[in-house]
Structure 1
Amino acid sequence: MTAPAATTTTYEKIGGDAAVGKLCDRFYELMDTVPQFAELRAMHPESLQGSRDKLYMFLSGWFGGPDLFVEKFGHPRLRARHMPFEIGTRERDQWVACMVLAMEDVGIEKEIRAKLLENFFNTADFMRNRAG
């Protein structure tokens, strides 16, 4: 019998902990400075550090690395956690566009970005809780 082939996680493919940290840093830097994302930025507290840290912990596990968010906060319950915020198509699209730029800026490979974009869009779309 041969051993099953080891699968490489997205976490490993993009560069592990350091890459997830850079992605989150760049995402919130863009959100904070690019006028196109002003409405998205307005939904966040003055300091983005807590939001950045939670995204970092979530993405670590979501990409197949250490499940930091679950270890600290339990099940992500993404929709329930985002329910206090009015999220429509504009906010969804701003979040996705910001993440696309962040992925490009930190050098995530095109093929990986395409798959992540699909997953990010579907998840962001699921967060919508208002029309428009």
Structure 2
Amino acid sequence: MSEVQQLTPYEMLGGEAPLRKLVDRFYDIMDADPRVTTLRQMHGGDMTVIRQKLFEFLSGWLGGPSLFIEKYGHPMLRARHMPFAVDEDARDQWLLCMYTAMDEQPMEQALRDHLEDAFFRTADFMRNR
């Protein structure tokens, strides 16, 4: 009996380089799009560190190397976001940046659908206002 190997979303996306491109584009959009000013202000001036942290988090979250956990331990996403006023508007601004970045990233529609749903659920869970 042979096992059917399931690809992780990380593998389906193409691994490290495409994920890095997605994260970089996400932050480039956040930095430039006037529709996400509130979200951008939450991230302070230099976003170098947070770019790296999101890349490391998404790597493990998507089924690739657990880079974030190896460096920082359990993500505790909600607790880490408590200092910020994350309301529906902030959630929607984050999703606008991510979905726009995803528009520019080649991927199968099934992966796109999965990621949209997973990102929405996670972003919605971050709401604390």
What is the match of residue 87 of structure 1?
Answer: 86
Displacement of 1:112 after TM fit? 1.1
Alignment of 1:61-72 (within 5 A): 61-72=60-71
Displacement of 1:110 after TM fit? 2.6
Normalising by the residue count of structure 2, what TM-score does the alignment of the two structures yield? Answer: 0.97
More moved, 87-96 vs 111-120: 111-120
Normalising by the residue count of structure 1, what TM-score does the alignment of the two structures yield? Answer: 0.94
What is the match of residue 128 of structure 1?
Answer: 127
CA distance in 1, matches of 2:78, 2:41: 19
- Matched length: 129
Moved over 3 A (4+): none
Structure 1 spans left out of the alignment, 5+ residues: none
Displacement of 1:113 after TM fit? 1.3
CA contact (8 A) 1:40 1:91 kept: yes
Aligned-residue CA RMSD (Å)? 0.9
In structure 2, what residue type is equivalent to 1:122?
R
What is the match of residue 8 of structure 2?
Answer: 9
CA distance in 2, matches of 1:51, 1:35: 20
In structure 2, what residue type is equivalent to 1:118?
D
Matched, 1:40 2:49: no
Alignment of 1:87-106 (within 5 A): 87-106=86-105
In structure 1, what residue type is equivalent to 2:2?
A
In structure 1, what residue type is equivalent to 2:41?
A
Matched, 1:29 2:33: no
Q: Identity, % of aligned pairs?
A: 51
CA distance in 2, matches of 1:110, 1:48: 30
Alignment of 1:101-112 (within 5 A): 101-112=100-111
